[in-house]
């Protein structure tokens, strides 16, 4: 059998005399229709006319069961969307009126609760509620006051309140002074469920009631004065109620709203609550208090406070605004406990909560935060506190959050430059952001602070914050990883600040602002770093030096060279280090170049100021300068197209050696010189092509000659190494390092093939070598004293000699320089057929060679038993160089310049032959002399009387030399056919060699008239010596073998004793290694050996024997 229709069931329910049973059936029917749309529609069609009047009538019955059942059915009808949609406006008004009457008049708690429940679940139209909102609110307030002493009634009333607030927010806000007080008064209830229920309700309706209307604020103030404030203060005496007390305090402050600031006496009394709790020993109480402190921010800086603010995109931070000034007291009031807690807190959770509240304040300030006075009051204090705290693992999240926030503030200028109209954000420092607490990190997205492009007048504030980050005291004992983190993040922020300065510099009215910004940047770096470097321990000072150089490098990179080098912007050199070295006296033993150092308080360009500042910081630093720091300094000193810096660098370097210095400090400056030189070499052509002129050449020459003065100047050994047993080792180690630093640069001078094709570079080299020669000549006595000092201290390697020797060797081995000299001669010859002028570069190379031979000779005289490796290499290179000379003029010029020193070396090696006879030096000297003899013969200079007369002493020293290959070769050219050697023989008659006796032993024989056989024999003697010791010339014209070379390749040597005074020749074969004496191997029969075996013709030997009988 099919169930009866809905309309029939409704008719039966309406006719049922037992109303309780009837409503039970109706409630069953309503629940059945809830999930059946068609049944619900049928029920809705029948309910308004048939059931609702009965429900309203029976709800007022005295029978509680009937009234309760009727109210339950009425509530369902008001809740179900299909059923409520059929209720007309007039009928709805009757429903609400009935419910209000029941709430206000019933004596039954259940009926009152159900009536309130009906209001809380109803889904009537907002317009219907709006018409009857006042009586509804009165009924709800009545229920909130709990007339039956039941929490359930209050609970239902609270639910009804939240329902009405969501349905009709405007009306509920306007009448909030009626229904909100009964709710907030229960915040201080002793019953926890009642407190929690009130708090949940306030949270739910906060968007409606906050910021509060004036009537509500007045009602709250009245309640606080009468009872609530005293109750809160009493709760502070119970530790278990402190958190609830401060939560209630937060709600009362929020409900007071903006009027809190105007009711000053009441506010002062209320502030006693958080004042006690901010210093509570329980961290949880402090954290809760800090979170609730945001309510005061909301009260002071609600929407109505900022609604009149401008909405522009750019604001001058010092623009006078009365409104901004009026907020200062409120800001200081809010900031006071924040700063106090942060200063003393060691709890990361509490500090994080404090930063969260502070960030919320910055967000609520809107564009007010961009005013300089508010920046200083609200933004700066917390940053300074956090940055003044030691940076460690515990406070890293706090530090990271603050540096990112400051980074965001600084980057606003760059953001505006990228896209003035869009809010384009510069990425935060991700390295630091990852170390920030999760809830703090989220604040960057939840509450974005309204930063506006800052004005130049806030530059001091920004630099002040940066100064607190790089506080030298905090870098003390900081780990390396922490220091790197600080440097990277701060440098990134500083770079953004400079980008903002550059934006300012590009504006139309930039001149004055440019001067202000650049001056402040320079003074900031000086104040923060220069005033503290040297006052800290070595490790922290090293960090400061690195930090400072990064800052200066950022400045040089981010600001245009046109600004830094402009003569329009000048700064006073107020650097104390400049003042100290300005009055340093030059050592009387050194002849320094004419340089003018910077004067104290002199006006210079910003670029020069930054250069002087960087150098002064490095000078004040007493520790070991790292190569990375030296590279940083080099990049500052050598910006593109800015040679002006060297006019400041060169005097500064020279002033460092005016007074005796510790050897470690000398190495430090040589490291700097090395790095700067390398960078300068990379840009040399651009500097030279820029038209630096003679003065530019001079300053570059002075710079590159600096090591000679530094190495020769008197200095002291570090006290740390002064112990006698360690002195010698330290001296050698120091000199090796110094030589390496200098030689590396000078080697690049002579081996830079890409530059040697540039005429402008070769002209500079001419100028440089001429300059270097003058320096050596003017300071010869000081150099000699340095050589003597090093030799007395048993130095294995004399730095000044190694440096000069390597310069000369590099010149002699560079074929491109020699080719350039030949081309220069060709041009000179074409322009001047007389060829009266020798190539400057060629001439300079030979003069340097002359100076080195002189100094090496002095060193050899003092310590002949030493290795003299550089001297041996020099002789080898000079010998190869002579092999390239094809012009008689070149050979004449060579002997004219180095002839006297060549003579001195032959004389010294003769005197000290017993000491050096087994060394490499005599072998290379032999190679050099034999190669020289070859070219004298090839160029027929042995027939030139003027040449022989001019170099009589040289040839005499060679003839008398105890090293047989040298003397034999010289004797051979003396006796060669056609040689005009009378001058030589007569001049050397007092020390005639045995070779001469071959010509003088026969009475009456004219020594100038030798027979053809004798001449042929003399030539054969020379050929023998050449075959045994003369170098072999490769196809490219490079001398590539010598006595030493052949000994190394064959393991043995052939010594030919000239023995011209004896009856026969002695041909002896010596083994180079002393083993297998006389043993002949396949390798022994080289072409040279074969030639040596047949070098004596039998007829010549026979003729000789006949002559001697």
Q: If you average pLDDT over residues 800-812, what whole number do you get?
A: 91
Looking at residue 510, its pLDDT comes to: 60
Q: If you average pLDDT over residues 925-929, what whole number do you get?
A: 94
Q: What is the mean pLDDT of the chain?
A: 79
Strand partners, 1053: 1070
Looking at residue 1001, its pLDDT comes to: 36
573 pLDDT tier (thresholds 50, 70, 90): very high
Token pair listed for 465: 């914050």
- Label residues 174-193 b or e (16+ Cβ within 10 Å = b): ebbbbbbbbbbbbbbbeeee
C-alpha to C-alpha distances, 932 to 13, 573, 811, 889, 893, nearest whole angstrom: 140, 58, 19, 14, 13
Contacts 24+ apart (CB under 8 A), 128-131: 128/89, 128/92, 128/93, 128/96, 129/96, 129/164, 129/167, 129/168, 130/168, 130/171, 131/93
Q: If you average pLDDT over residues 691-698, what whole number do you get?
A: 72
More confident residue, 705 or 6: 705
- Tens of pLDDT, residues 958-995: 999 999 999 999 888 776 654 544 444 443 333 334 33
1027 pLDDT tier (thresholds 50, 70, 90): very low
CB-CB contact of 494 with 554 (8 Å) = yes
1009 pLDDT tier (thresholds 50, 70, 90): very low
More confident residue, 754 or 553: 553
Looking at residue 245, its pLDDT comes to: 96
Looking at residue 424, its pLDDT comes to: 45
- Label residues 562-578 b or e (16+ Cβ within 10 Å = b): ebbbbeebbbebebebb
Looking at residue 104, its pLDDT comes to: 94
Asked if residue 1025 has pLDDT above 70, the reply is: no
Asked if residue 421 has pLDDT above 60, the reply is: no
CB-CB contact of 652 with 710 (8 Å) = no
1076 pLDDT tier (thresholds 50, 70, 90): very low
Looking at residue 470, its pLDDT comes to: 83
CB-CB contact of 328 with 374 (8 Å) = yes
454 pLDDT tier (thresholds 50, 70, 90): confident
Residue 158: name the closest of 144, 137, 174, 138 by CA. 144
CB-CB contact of 417 with 503 (8 Å) = yes
379-388, 448-457, 1012-1021: which range is least confident on average? 1012-1021
Token pair listed for 795: 């130095």
Q: What is the value of pTM for the model shown?
A: 0.74
Q: Which H or E run contains 716?
A: strand 715-716
Contacts 24+ apart (CB under 8 A), 507-514: 511/568, 513/456, 514/563, 514/569
Asked if residue 383 has pLDDT above 90, the reply is: yes
Percent of the chain residues past pLDDT 90, beyond the cut? 36
More confident residue, 422 or 789: 789
Ramachandran quadrant class, 1078 (left: phi over 0; alpha: psi -120 to 50; beta: rest): left
Burial class of residue 1034 in the structure, from the number of CB atoms within 10 Å of its CB (0-12 exposed, 13-18 middle, 19+ buried): exposed
More confident residue, 1041 or 137: 137
Q: If you average pLDDT over residues 295-318, what whole number do you get?
A: 64
Asked if residue 1093 has pLDDT above 80, the reply is: no
Looking at residue 188, its pLDDT comes to: 94
CB-CB contact of 712 with 666 (8 Å) = no
Q: What is the 3-state secondary structure (H, E, C) of 596-645?
A: CCCCCCCEECHHHHHHHHHHHHHHHCCCCCCHHHHHHHHHHHCCCCCHHH
Q: Give just the sign of the alpha carbon dihedral 336, 337, 341, 342.
A: negative
More confident residue, 1022 or 742: 742
Q: Which H or E run contains 1053?
A: strand 1052-1057
Looking at residue 660, its pLDDT comes to: 54
C-alpha 486 chain-centroid distance: 11
Neighbours of 616 (CB within 10 A): 22
535 pLDDT tier (thresholds 50, 70, 90): low
Distance CA 573, CA 564 (A): 15
C-alpha to C-alpha distances, 44 to 39, 330, 923, 1012, nearest whole angstrom: 8, 59, 126, 153
Q: Parallel, antiparallel, or unpaired: how do β-strands 571-572 and 1066-1071 relate?
A: unpaired
Strand partners, 603: 572
Asked if residue 787 has pLDDT above 80, the reply is: yes
Looking at residue 716, its pLDDT comes to: 42
Q: Which H or E run contains 1057?
A: strand 1052-1057
Looking at residue 960, its pLDDT comes to: 92
Looking at residue 379, its pLDDT comes to: 97
- Tens of pLDDT, residues 478-488: 787 888 888 88
1079 pLDDT tier (thresholds 50, 70, 90): very low
Percent of the chain residues past pLDDT 70, beyond the cut? 75
Q: If you average pLDDT over residues 328-356, what whole number do you get?
A: 94
536 pLDDT tier (thresholds 50, 70, 90): low
- Label residues 284-308 b or e (16+ Cβ within 10 Å = b): ebbbbbbbbbbbbbbbbbbeebbee
Ramachandran quadrant class, 1101 (left: phi over 0; alpha: psi -120 to 50; beta: rest): alpha
Tell me if residue 141 falls in helix, strand or coil: helix
Looking at residue 323, its pLDDT comes to: 62
Token pair listed for 810: 């590099």
- Tens of pLDDT, residues 641-671: 667 788 889 888 888 876 555 677 888 899 9
- Tens of pLDDT, residues 60-89: 999 999 999 999 999 998 998 888 888 888
Asked if residue 1060 has pLDDT above 50, the reply is: no
1008: DSSP letter: T
CB-CB contact of 121 with 75 (8 Å) = yes
Residue 1027: name the closest of 1090, 1071, 940 by CA. 1090
CB-CB contact of 883 with 1033 (8 Å) = yes
Q: If you average pLDDT over residues 98-116, what whole number do you get?
A: 94
Q: Where are the alpha helices (DSSP H) in 1030-1108?
A: 1043-1050, 1087-1093, 1098-1108
- Label residues 835-856 b or e (16+ Cβ within 10 Å = b): eeebbbbbbbbbbbbbbbbbbb
691 pLDDT tier (thresholds 50, 70, 90): low
Asked if residue 304 has pLDDT above 70, the reply is: no
């Amino acid at each position: 059998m099919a169930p009866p229709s809905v309309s029939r069931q409704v008719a039966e329910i309406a006719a049922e005399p037992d109303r309780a049973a009837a409503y039970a059936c109706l409630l069953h029917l309503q629940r059945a229709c809830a999930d059946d749309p068609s049944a619900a529609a049928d029920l809705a069609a029948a309910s308004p006319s048939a059931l609702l009047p009965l429900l309203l009538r029976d709800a007022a019955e005295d029978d509680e069961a009937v009234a309760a059942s009727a109210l339950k059915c009425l509530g369902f009808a008001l809740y179900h969307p299909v059923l409520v949609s059929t209720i007309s406006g007039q009928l709805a008004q009757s429903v609400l009126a009935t419910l209000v009457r029941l709430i206000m008049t019933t004596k039954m708690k259940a009926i009152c609760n159900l009536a309130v429940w009906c209001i809380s679940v109803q889904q009537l139209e907002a317009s219907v509620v709006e018409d009857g909102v006042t009586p509804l609110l009165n009924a709800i307030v009545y229920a909130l006051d709990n007339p039956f002493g039941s929490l359930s009634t209050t609970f239902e009333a609270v639910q009804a309140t939240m329902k009405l607030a969501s349905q009709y927010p405007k009306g509920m806000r306007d009448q909030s002074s009626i229904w909100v007080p009964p709710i907030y008064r229960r915040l201080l209830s002793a019953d926890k469920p009642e407190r929690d229920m009130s708090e949940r309700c306030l949270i739910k309706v906060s968007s409606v009631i906050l910021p509060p209307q004036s009537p509500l604020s007045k009602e709250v103030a009245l309640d606080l004065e009468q009872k609530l404030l005293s109750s809160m203060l009493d709760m502070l005496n119970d530790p278990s109620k402190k958190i609830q007390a401060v939560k209630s305090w937060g709600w009362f402050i929020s409900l007071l709203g903006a009027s809190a600031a105007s009711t000053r006496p009441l506010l002062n009394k209320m502030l006693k609550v958080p004042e006690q709790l901010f210093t509570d020993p329980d961290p949880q109480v402090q954290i809760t208090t800090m979170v609730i402190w945001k309510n005061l921010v909301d009260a002071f800086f609600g929407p109505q406070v900022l609604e009149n603010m401008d909405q522009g995109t750019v604001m001058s931070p010092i623009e006078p605004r009365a409104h901004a000034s009026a907020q200062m007291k409120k800001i200081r009031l809010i900031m006071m406990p924040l700063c106090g807690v942060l200063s003393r807190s060691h709890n990361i959770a509490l500090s994080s909560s404090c930063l969260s509240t502070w960030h919320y304040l910055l967000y609520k300030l809107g564009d007010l935060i961009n005013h300089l006075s508010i920046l200083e009051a609200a933004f700066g204090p917390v940053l300074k506190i956090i940055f003044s705290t030691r940076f460690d693992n515990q406070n890293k999240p706090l530090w990271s959050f603050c540096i990112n926030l400051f980074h965001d503030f600084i980057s606003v200028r760059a953001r505006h430059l990228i896209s003035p109209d869009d809010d384009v954000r510069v990425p935060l420092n991700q390295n630091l952001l990852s170390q920030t607490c999760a809830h703090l990190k989220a604040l960057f997205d939840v509450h974005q602070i309204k930063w506006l492009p800052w004005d130049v007048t806030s530059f001091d504030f920004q630099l002040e914050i940066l100064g607190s980050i790089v506080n030298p005291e905090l870098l003390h004992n900081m780990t390396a990883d922490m220091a790197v983190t600080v440097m990277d993040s701060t440098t990134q922020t500083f770079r953004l600040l400079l980008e903002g300065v550059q934006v300012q510099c590009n504006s139309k009215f930039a001149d004055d602002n440019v001067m202000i910004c650049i001056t402040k940047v320079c003074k900031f770096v000086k104040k923060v770093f220069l005033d503290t470097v040297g006052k800290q321990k070595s490790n922290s000072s090293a960090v400061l030096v690195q930090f400072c150089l990064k800052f200066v490098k950022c400045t040089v990179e981010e600001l245009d060279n046109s600004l830094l080098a402009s003569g329009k912007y000048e700064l006073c050199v107020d650097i104390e280090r400049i003042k100290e070295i300005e009055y340093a006296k030059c050592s009387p033993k050194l002849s320094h170049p004419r340089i003018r150092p910077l004067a104290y308080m002199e006006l210079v360009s910003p670029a020069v100021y930054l250069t002087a500042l960087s150098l002064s910081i490095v000078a004040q630093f007493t520790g070991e300068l790292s190569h990375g720091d030296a590279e940083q300094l080099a990049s500052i000193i050598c910006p593109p197209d800015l040679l002006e810096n060297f006019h400041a660098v060169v005097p500064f370097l020279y002033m460092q050696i005016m007074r005796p210095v510790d050897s470690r400090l000398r190495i430090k400056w040589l490291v700097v010189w090395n790095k700067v030189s390398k960078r300068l070499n990379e840009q040399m052509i651009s500097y030279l092509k820029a038209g630096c002129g003679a003065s530019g050449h001079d300053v570059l020459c002075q710079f590159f000659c600096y090591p000679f003065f530094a190495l020769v100047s008197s200095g002291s050994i570090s006290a740390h190494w002064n112990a006698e047993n360690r002195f010698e080792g330290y001296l050698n180690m120091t000199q090796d390092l110094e030589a390496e630093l200098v030689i590396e640069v000078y080697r690049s001078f002579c081996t830079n093939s890409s530059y040697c094709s540039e005429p402008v570079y070769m002209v500079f080299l001419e100028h440089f070598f001429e300059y270097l020669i003058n320096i050596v000549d003017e300071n010869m006595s000081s150099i000699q004293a340095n050589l003597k000092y090093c030799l007395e201290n048993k130095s294995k390697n004399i730095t000044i000699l190694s440096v000069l020797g390597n310069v000369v060797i590099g010149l002699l081995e560079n074929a491109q320089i020699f080719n350039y000299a030949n081309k220069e001669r060709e041009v000179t010859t074409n322009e001047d057929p007389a060829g009266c002028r020798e190539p400057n570069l060629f001439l300079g190379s030979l003069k340097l060679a002359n100076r080195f031979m002189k100094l090496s000779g002095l060193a050899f005289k003092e310590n002949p038993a030493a290795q003299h490796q550089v001297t041996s290499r020099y002789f080898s290179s000079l010998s190869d160089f002579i092999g390239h000379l094809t012009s008689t003029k070149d050979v004449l010029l060579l002997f004219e310049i180095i002839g006297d020193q060549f003579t001195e070396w032959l004389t010294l090696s003769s005197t000290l032959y017993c000491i050096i006879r087994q060394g490499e030096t005599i072998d290379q000297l032999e190679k050099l002399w034999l190669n020289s003899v070859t070219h004298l013969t090839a160029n027929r200079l042995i027939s030139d009387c003027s040449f022989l007369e001019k170099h009589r002493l040289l040839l005499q020293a060679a003839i008398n030399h105890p090293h047989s290959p040298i003397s034999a070769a010289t004797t051979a050219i003396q006796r060669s056919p056609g040689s005009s050697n009378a001058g030589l023989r007569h001049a050397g008659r007092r020390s005639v060699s045995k070779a001469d006796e071959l010509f003088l032993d026969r009475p009456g024989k004219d020594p100038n008239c030798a027979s053809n056989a004798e001449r042929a024999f003399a030539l054969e003697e020379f050929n023998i010596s050449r075959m045994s010791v003369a170098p072999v010339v490769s196809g490219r014209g490079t001398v590539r073998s010598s006595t030493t070379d052949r000994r190394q390749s064959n393991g043995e040597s052939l010594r030919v004793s000239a023995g011209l005074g004896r009856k026969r020749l002695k041909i002896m074969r010596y083994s180079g290694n002393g083993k297998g004496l006389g043993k002949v191997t396949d390798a022994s029969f080289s072409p040279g050996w074969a030639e040596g075996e047949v070098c004596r013709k039998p007829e010549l030997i026979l003729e000789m024997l006949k002559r001697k009988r």
